[in-house]
Amino acid sequence: MIPYGRQHIGDEEVAAVLEALKSNHITQGPRVPEFEVALAQKVNVRHALAVNSATSALHIACLALGLSEGGLLWTSPNSFVASPNVARLCGANVDFVDINPDTFNMCPLELERKLILAKSEGQLPDIVMPVHFGGESCNMKRIAALGKKYGFKIIEDASHAVGAKYAGIPVGSCRYSDATVYSFHPVKIITTAEGGMVFTNNDELATKMNLFRSHGVTRDKSLMTHASDGPWYYQQVELGLNYRLTELQAALGIEQLKRLDEFLAKRHKIAGVYDSAFSDSPFRAQERLKDNYSALHLYIIRLDDTYSKADRAVLFKYMRDAGIGVNVLYIPIHTQPYYAAQGFQSGDCPNSVDYYERCLALPMYPDLTTEQQLYVIETLQNGVLSLRT
Ligand SMILES: *Cc1c(COP(=O)(O)O)cnc(C)c1O
């Protein structure tokens, strides 16, 4: 089966992980801060904190921004369930802002419409979490302007957008947000097996997230309530978790980061081949804006409106039967039983449902060969033709 996504692990990664394994510190050693500094420099941001998953990163960002019971976070329904779940774990409520039918990202017009209504009802969100779906950045200038006007904080869920650029600046620089999160799950752009990173330019937020990452415990005298008892002393000043990344994972991450630009170039080459093969088709790919540089985590096509949900199911089976591991991303989160039980209706975000019923993720990863890709293209074209006969 040709999968829809897959990691590339080279000999350098294997050697680096082995070396870390044989070193004195297999957790909390020098590699984690080395990985953090390298990524902070890459995205041009003040603080980078490595954690054991993007979910953990989103969670400590919400905690550090003070999200708690009675709070409210808005995100995109076209995301992985982790995006809203972290707000629920903080005891807050969530709501969803529908997507734009071309970019598949949170629609800024819809966001504004919803904000005007929420203001009149006195229920403005504390945090808005745009998700850079497929690696293509949301319209951050617009969202940040609305953040100023309506007084909400912004966490970018850039799990898909590792190495991407928005209007020429790196996603992760937090120019238009309070914090930005990367994922290093194997199916994403670079991997640490499990892992994530949270970026911020806000010193106070970084200090808080650092506490939440590790039990709320500190050895920093400036954060203690009284003088230290001695060199062994630490204080717990917050209620935190253990969300730390290991040295083995950081070693893997450091090597993967060296390949990031090459990975992205390969993804763009593959996307270019798909784009030109599909230029005259009854489906279209996710829109990528000229000013942006997508990380192209996913290459998603969407059948036009003359096709039904059933057609997509037939096409999915056709591709899978041909040994092509196409996928469907994402099931609109507000339709998941957990969220439906809180009163969300399918029709609350119609664009995301419409998108879900007609979308298909094609294989997209650096090691996809030209031969494999041509097979995917030919099979897809035959599959789409077969829907009309
Ligand atoms: C993968 C993903 C996450 C969670 O990432 P983990 O590192 O697996 O915790 C969160 N949000 C989005 C949009 C994702 O794709």
Residue-by-residue DSSP string for 158-187: -TT-TT-EETTEETTS-TTSSEEEEE--TT
Show the tokens assigned to 212.
């939440």
pLDDT tens, position by position, 29-68: 999 999 999 999 999 999 999 999 999 999 999 999 999 9
Q: How far apart are the C-alpha atoms of 318 and 323, rounded to whole Å? A: 9
pLDDT value of residue 303? 97
Does 196 score more than 90 pLDDT? yes
Residue 132 CB less than 6 A away from ligand 1:
no
Q: How far apart are the C-alpha atoms of 254 and 33, rounded to whole Å? A: 10
Show the tokens assigned to 166.
């928005």
* Strand, coil or helix: 299: strand
The mean per-residue pLDDT over the stretch 196-213 comes to 98
pLDDT value of residue 166? 98
- Cα 264 to middle of ligand 1, angstroms: 19
For residue 194, which atom of ligand 1 is closest to its CA? 7
- Those residues whose C-beta lies under 8 Å from the C-beta of residue 114, and which sit 6 or more positions away, are 74, 95, 97
Q: How far apart are the C-alpha atoms of 214 and 251, rounded to whole Å? A: 20
Does 2 score more than 90 pLDDT? yes
pLDDT tens, position by position, 349-368: 999 999 999 999 999 999 99
pLDDT value of residue 91? 98
Does 207 score more than 90 pLDDT? yes
Please report, to the nearest 10 degrees, the dihedral formed by the alpha carbons of residues 175, 158, 48, 227 taken in order. Answer: 100
For residue 195, which atom of ligand 1 is closest to its CA? 7
7 — pLDDT class (breaks 50, 70, 90): very high
* Strand, coil or helix: 345: coil
Torsions phi, psi for 114 (to 5 deg)? -70, -35
389 — pLDDT class (breaks 50, 70, 90): confident
- Cα 270 to middle of ligand 1, angstroms: 23
The mean per-residue pLDDT over the stretch 221-237 comes to 95
pLDDT value of residue 388? 85
Transcribe 242-280 into DSSP letters.
Answer: B-PPBHHHHHHHHHHHHTHHHHHHHHHHHHHHHHHHTTT
